[in-house]
Amino acid sequence: MAIRGISRDLLAMLFELGREHHPDEFVAVLRERDGVIRDIDLVPGTIVGEESASFFIDMLPLDTHQAGSAHSHPNGVLSPSSADLRFFPSVGRYHVIVGYPYTERDWRC
């Protein structure tokens, strides 16, 4: 699957999730349709905290439209941590990090 973009509505939702969960992290699975990341899945059993958010991979839905993950960094650092880099390959190819203060400039993919 080749991803051509991410919808503005989804980015707005990710910023809102960051604000709602702050100071804890959130994590979600990104879904694509027609090459555009448009939706997320919130995985049952997700564990959140101030320094991490995680879920069990076997709780992921079986889906060919899974594109990657999205999560927040309440400290505002938009670079992936070493834990992020270990997690990313298990969920897909594209990964979005949104950071405090959760504005249109506070994200990386």
Structural domain spans, the chain: 5-45+68-108
**What's the rounded mean pLDDT across residues 86-98?**
91
Active site residue 25: yes
What is the CATH topology of the domain spanning 5-45+68-108? Answer: Cytidine Deaminase; domain 2 (3.40.140)
Question: What pTM was estimated for this model as a whole?
Answer: 0.86
- Which is the catalytic residue, given 25, 32, 51, 104? 25
Q: Looking at beta carbons, which pairs linking 48-57 to residues 24 or more positions away fall under 8 Å?
A: 48/21, 48/24, 49/24, 49/25, 50/23, 50/24, 50/25, 50/74, 51/25, 52/25, 52/83, 53/24, 53/25, 53/26, 53/27, 54/27, 54/87, 55/27, 57/90, 57/91
Q: What is the pLDDT of residues 68-87, one digit of tens each?
A: 999 999 999 999 999 999 88
